[in-house]
A and B are shown apart, each in its own frame.
Chain A
Amino acid sequence: MTSFIAAVLAVIGISVGASMLLETQQRTADAAYTTTGARVDLDPRLNGAPAPKH
């Protein structure tokens, strides 16, 4: 029984760990597929406009 519970916890742990690790590697399309040559702002979503307030 302990082995089963430990296994379930390990599955959850590994999955959550993997998801967090992969999320740090994720790139948005604007970072992956745009050039930087003709940018007004480094953040392409703003492009010179003031950052939106959250």
Chain B
Amino acid sequence: MIATMSFHRILPGLLLIMALAAPAAAQQPTSVNPTASSVKEKQLLEALKPNSGDTLSGRVSIPDKRAGDLIQPGGTEFREFHEKTLGRIGIIAIPGMLALLVMFYFIRGRVPIEGGPSGQTIVRFGWMSRFVHWLTATSFLALGLSGLNLVFGKSILLPVIGASAFSWLSQLGKFVHNYVSFAFALGIILMFVMWVKDNLPALRDIRWIAQAGGLLGIGHPPADRFNAGQKLMFWSTIVGGAALSVSGYIMMFRPASLAMSAFQLATVVHGVTGLVLVAIIAAHIYIGSVGMEGAFAAMGKGKVDLNWAKSHHSIWVDKVAKNRPQDISQNTAGGRAPAPAE
């Protein structure tokens, strides 16, 4: 009798464990008083933790089965991330990078072409390469701006332009973000296919990185078609772009097979990768425009000055001279005599 008494006392807890352990609980006692076993939310939430499930769910009689998710504690962490962590990462990454670039400009100035422009050009990127570059670049710009608006617009733009104008702008931004993403994803795939063979790591990349690509003025390390810096740029774009695309499409299409935490994780990955990639691309834009003399021509006209190519891509120039000499233009009037290759 005493034994049964104490059994009854622990019964609610036992039942809870058995109910959660599901099919294993075959031999349930028949004398159960259901009104006495109150199911506490706290207990259920604690029992949830070790399990893979991230929502406390039950059965609903309506067709939307997601409505069966009673409580999802992960929402609190998502909020914490979104409110605090994401903003902090953004404030460090983007203004930080801009400050770095401005500082760099004042210290190093515009990196000139070694030996000055030769007047001779060498074909660097074909039409298709430039098309794919600008496809990815313009779509990234649209995605980056609309994405930043979603993270920082509330605190920066909203107080300035007012709620309804900001809502209109953000609505437009959301549509742009969703649909332009397809052009960006296509650009990432095409870029990967086009340039991966020239971006595989090589031993000479170590030397290039050790000498900081000649920026510090201790001689210019040799490089093939792409130097180590450009390879890093390539791989950040590919890896970052892939992460952004995958996490973005998870958020956009919200496949029913994924748990709530998967969507929350996708937003975390998307936010962090997006901010970091915006910072990296800011550096890329700087070095490709004001930061370095002669660099923009590669993606502008597709032809670069021979002296620029010789200092940054000496091995590549030699290869082109040997295999496709027609890609190097003859000396034009007005240009200086080409400096001898180092």
Contact = CB atoms under 8 A, between A and B. Distances in A.
A and B touch in the complex (CB under 8 A): yes
Interface of A: 1-4, 6-8, 10-11, 14-19, 22, 29, 32-35
B180 A15 contact: yes
B134 A7 contact: yes
Interface magnitude class on chain B: 20 to 34
Interface core residue of A11, A14, A15 (most chain B CB under 10 Å): A11
A3 B138 CA distance: 12
B135 interface: yes
A33 B61 CA distance: 11
B63 A14 contact: no
Contact of B186 (A8, A14, A16, A22): A14
- Main DSSP-derived SS at the B contact region: helix
Contacts of B182: 14-15, 17-18
Interface of B: 62-64, 127, 130-135, 137-139, 142, 175-176, 178-180, 182-183, 186, 300, 302
A10 B179 contact: no
A41 B134 CA distance: 51
A10 B179 CA distance: 12
Contacts of B302: 3
A35 B63 contact: yes
B127 A3 contact: yes
B180 A6 contact: no
B150 to A, nearest CB: 17
Nearest to B135: A7
A17 B179 CA distance: 9
B135 A11 contact: yes
27 contacts: A2-B127, A3-B127, A4-B130, A6-B131, A6-B134, A7-B130, A7-B132, A7-B134, A8-B134, A8-B138, A10-B131, A10-B135, A10-B183, A14-B186, A15-B176, A15-B179, A15-B182, A15-B183, A16-B179, A17-B182, A18-B182, A19-B175, A32-B64, A33-B62, A33-B64, A34-B63, A35-B63
Contacts of A14: 180, 182-183, 186
